[in-house]
Structure formats: C-alpha cells, structure tokens
C-alpha cells in the first residue's frame, strides 16, 4: 500500500512539473530566418507568430513570389527550432521514466 501512495505522490509531482514546463514553453520565443536573415519570423511556444521582420531591400514589385517564399521558409525554420526546443525540454523532464517509444509529451 505504501508503494501505491508513493507512486501517487510521484504522479502528482510529475503533473506539477509538466504544468510548469508547459507554462515555460508557452512563454518561449523562437526566431527563424530565411534569405540570409533578410526575413525573420518569431514564434511563441504555442506556435503563434509574434513578429515578422522583412528587410526593406526585398520590397520590389516583381519579387513578390520570392518574398512570399522567404516568409514561409523563415516560419518553417522557426517552427522546426521550436519543436526541437520542446523535445529537449520534454526529454530533460522525463529523464529516467519508463515511457514507451513514440509516445509524445506533453500530451
């Protein structure tokens, strides 16, 4: 019975840690770049676009498609960096826990 109580205590502790980690991740901001830094996108930890910066040299009427591609590339760069950061935080948090392969946290 003591093992069960200990397990319940650990589960509550883990739940509190996950809550804190989720709050910390929500406050993160990750910047992605494209075109050698001429286009920059900043995403929050919830994948919301917080900022978009475009070098004025890119504002040419005949280069609209290039600019659109650079914005998409910068967004995708930021999103992949955010996913890596979240994965690293999750691994730190769950180090030593017997979690089945392929299970993604936080849920």
**Which whole number is the average pLDDT over 21-50?**
88
pTM of the model: 0.61
Q: Where are the alpha helices (DSSP H) in the chain?
A: 2-27, 64-94
When the pLDDT of each residue in the chain is averaged and rounded to a whole number, the result is 81
pLDDT digits (tens, 9 = 90+) for 51-62: 999 988 888 777
Say what the alpha-carbon torsion angle 69, 73, 74, 75 is, to the nearest 10 degrees.
Answer: 100
Residue 34 has pLDDT above 90, yes or no: yes
Rounded CA separation 65/107 (Å) = 37
Rounded CA separation 46/28 (Å) = 8
Backbone angles phi, psi at 29, to 5 degrees: -135, 130
How would residue 107 be classed by pLDDT, with cut points 50, 70 and 90?
very low
Rounded CA separation 63/54 (Å) = 13
């Amino acid at each position: 019975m003591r093992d069960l109580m200990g397990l319940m205590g650990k589960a509550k502790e883990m739940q509190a840690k996950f809550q804190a980690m989720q709050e910390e991740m929500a406050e993160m901001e990750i910047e992605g770049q494209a075109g050698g830094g001429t286009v920059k996108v900043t995403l929050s930890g919830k994948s919301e676009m917080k900022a978009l910066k475009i070098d004025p040299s890119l504002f040419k009427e005949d280069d609209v498609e290039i600019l659109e591609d650079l914005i998409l590339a910068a967004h995708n760069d930021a999103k992949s960096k955010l996913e890596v950061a979240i994965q690293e935080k999750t691994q730190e948090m769950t180090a030593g826990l017997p979690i089945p392969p392929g299970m993604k946290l936080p849920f």
